[in-house]
Amino acid sequence: MFVCDTMLGKLARWLRILGYDAVYAKESDDGLMMIAKGEKRILLTRDEELAGRSGGFLIKKSSVDDQLKELLDAGLIEIDEDRMLTRCPLCNSMLKAVDKESARGRVPERSFENSDRFWYCGQCDKYYWVGKHWTDMKERVERIRR
């Protein structure tokens, strides 16, 4: 859905956390435009000239919270808790819900004991779970939503 230029790596990660398909591409301007056009993605950039040439969306703010608010206000994203934890924040792959036993020995023992829900990224070979970081992310998203 989105392709983010090299100035928007944190935004790409947060879009993934929110469940959006967000490619982070370290490409030339022409390369970014080719990806956006070829994959029917919205180009997100902080480069005013590139946004104008490409028809992409110009991100004006510098903090990721403000950037997400810009996208919300523009109607490009919605915040839906059911979409969260569906994509790997590192590589953008879809996460797979796995049974608790699959996570044994692969996550910290305390996290294993305190959580019943786990997700796995086959691309990164990484597990995710609902923990303190999840609560912190939800609180941050609520602040952005307001």
**pLDDT, tens digit (0-9, with 9 covering 90-100), for 57-74:** 999 999 999 999 999 999
pTM of the model: 0.90
Tell me phi and psi for residue 89, to 5 degrees: -70, -15
Q: What is the per-residue pLDDT for 135?
A: 79
pLDDT tens string 76-122: 999 888 888 899 999 999 999 999 999 999 999 999 999 999 999 99
The residue with tokens 């928007």 is: 8
When pLDDT is cut at 50, 70 and 90, the band that residue 137 belongs to is confident
Name 58's Cβ contacts closer than 8 Å, sequence gap at least 6.
45, 46, 47, 48, 51, 52
Q: Which amino acid is at 63?
A: S
- Mind listing the domains of the chain with CATH numbers? 2-82 (3.40.50), 92-129 (no CATH)
